[in-house]
Amino acid sequence: MNNTRIYVESTLAIIKPDAVDKEVEIEEIILRSGFSIVQRRKLQLSPEQASEFYAAHSGKMYYPTLTAHLCSGPLVAMMLNRQSAIKQWNDLLGPSDSEKAKETHPKSLRAIYGTDKIKNAFHGSDCFNTAERELTFMFPNVTIEPFPAGQAAEDYLSKFVNPTLLIGLTEMCQQKPAKPIIWLADWLLAHNPNRPSIKEGEVQEPPECTF
């Protein structure tokens, strides 16, 4: 019997204000790349929240511009899951400087949607500890842990995922939406029986939060 255990990671993905108008096609790319969008929120940060989010960069010359851009308009924050999610997401993003990405990684997301080092269209957590902090920042009630694969994962899917997925697929076939992948992703988010109780207008946020 094979006892090898593969773990699914969670990471934070942000579509920054300069690329948020392309959110639908970007999310399609994310799903086609093997990620699951477990949580998703469209929000606008205050300057104080943007400063707190990028606190690790405090003191660097680009810090004021970095934080100002993050709160310059609406953004989309997503919790992505897949095996090696942190590395896979950063590989998909490419170099942080979009100008360099266009030369060295022309097919990366930052090369396609970004402009320069600040307006680079995306953010991705760089390690597990950072992902945990950033996901908790964006989704206060989220639970972050690796999920085992193999037989344990098959048992989990059979018991908790497949029944809901079957209902969603059946309804999708009946409705025949123009964008079935996006429709199914939205349906699963809305009908996930195990999701945390995070609903619009009901989330308890920190003081002065504008999420």
* Options 57, 69, 105, 123, the catalytic residue: 123
What is the spatial distance between Cα 168 and Cα 207, in angstroms, rounded to a whole number? 37
Q: For the chain, how far is it from start to end, CA to CA, in angstroms?
A: 47
123: annotated active-site residue: yes
Assign 3-state DSSP to the chain and report helix, strand, coil percentages, each to 5. Answer: 45, 15, 40
Neighbours of 86 (CB within 10 A): 20
What is the spatial distance between Cα 205 and Cα 83, in angstroms, rounded to a whole number? 30
Phi, psi of 14 (to 5 degrees): -125, 130
For residue 6, the cross-strand partners are none
User: Which residues carry out catalysis?
Assistant: 123
